[in-house]
Amino acid sequence: METAYVALESGRVVEARSRAPGTTRGELVFTTAYTGYEESLTDPSYEEQVLTFSYPLIGNYGVREERFESDRVHPRAVVARELTDDVAEWLTEEDVPAIDHLDTRDLVTGIREEGAMKCGIAAGPDATEAAAREELSACKGMSEHTDIGQQVSVAKRHTHNPNGDGPHVALVDCGAKGSITSSLVERDAVVDVLPYDATAADVEHLDPDILFISNGPGDPENFTAAHALVEEFVGEVPLAGICLGQQVIAGALDGETEKMDFGHRGVNQPVRDLRSGRVVMTTQNHGYTVSEPGQLEVTQVNVNDDTPEGLESDELDVLTRQYHPEANPGPNDSLDFFDDVLALAKDAELAA
């Protein structure tokens, strides 16, 4: 059995079994999801992180490319109690280190008590504790990845469903899941996906009905180009955002964001709508949150900790969600968000 080591910022070194070899480093986080490992592993929001699955067995229904949310695995490494051979082989092909045969309950408890932390990993036939510690010493905090958008965004504009009859959406790709685009296209929207550093001139050239800021990894304050777009077009073009997009929009409209202790990651996060009282279950993956909503109204909150899950402004035509309404791998409680977003464009057109 090949050995692996995880060196933690807390000072501990944990021994495990290597399933995909390599050395790497990143922020150690956990997800409570027990299905949807393919979607999680291809979610760009996990860039520069080491993903720990709290559910003990990962890979029991294989690996199917049609479930992927992007074209590659994004976590720097993967940790589980037990990984199936299918997943281990996939991660080996992707050159993503993977380890198992360790007590993930203990690891998750440590993250909950001490917060998401830096770690270094060494796995494979030549792995040593020293190599894992060396990786840890070189690990950056998430806020230090100042241009992380470049690692996850498209390099140039792409158009989806160009002959659609629905509203024209300019989607700023800060690390967008593929299901966001497909959810809009399913509603016959025309979707232009723009790079994370798109300029006001790029958006003006398209003359969209909606400006949509996507999810993505890291600190929202590092996405300065997206901030600038919101400041430029607020009040002129309806604005929508998911996850990092909510944080960026709030920050650009006099709000504030902050890093959470260990974030929300899983498929069973309960969210309460403050107007209707309805509670829905949601998919989430974020380590930052809006601490002050600025010019926006908080309309939905997380049942567990009261952090903002939905922000709106009728006056400014803004609608955002902290969770992932596209819901892959599920649940499907909040898919109507996309209908509401496209309705923004129609309402704005009627008011013009």
218 is in an annotated binding site: yes
Residue 288: what pLDDT?
98
Tell me the whole-structure pTM to 2 decimals: 0.96
Amino acid letter, residue 84: T
Helices 224-233 and 244-252 cross at an angle (nearest 10°) of 60
pLDDT along the chain (352 residues), means of 10: 95 98 98 94 98 97 96 98 98 98 97 96 97 98 97 98 97 98 97 98 98 98 98 98 98 98 95 97 97 98 98 97 90 91 80 56
83 is in an annotated binding site: no
227 catalytic residue (yes or no): no
Residue 351: what pLDDT?
59
Residue 352: what pLDDT?
54
Give the span between the Cα atoms of 136 and 125, in whole angstroms: 19
Q: At residue 148, what are phi and psi to the nearest 5 degrees?
A: -65, -25
Residue 327: what pLDDT?
75
205 catalytic residue (yes or no): no
326 catalytic residue (yes or no): yes
Which domains does the chain carry? 3-140 (3.50.30.20), 149-351 (3.40.50.880)
Within its chain, how far is the Cα of 27 from the centroid? 14
310 is in an annotated binding site: no
Residue 333: what pLDDT?
87
Q: Residues 243, 264, 286, 309: which is the catalytic one?
A: 243
62 is in an annotated binding site: no
287 is in an annotated binding site: yes
Give the span between the Cα atoms of 93 and 96, in whole angstroms: 8
Residue 171: what pLDDT?
98
Give the span between the Cα atoms of 55 and 222, in whole angstroms: 32
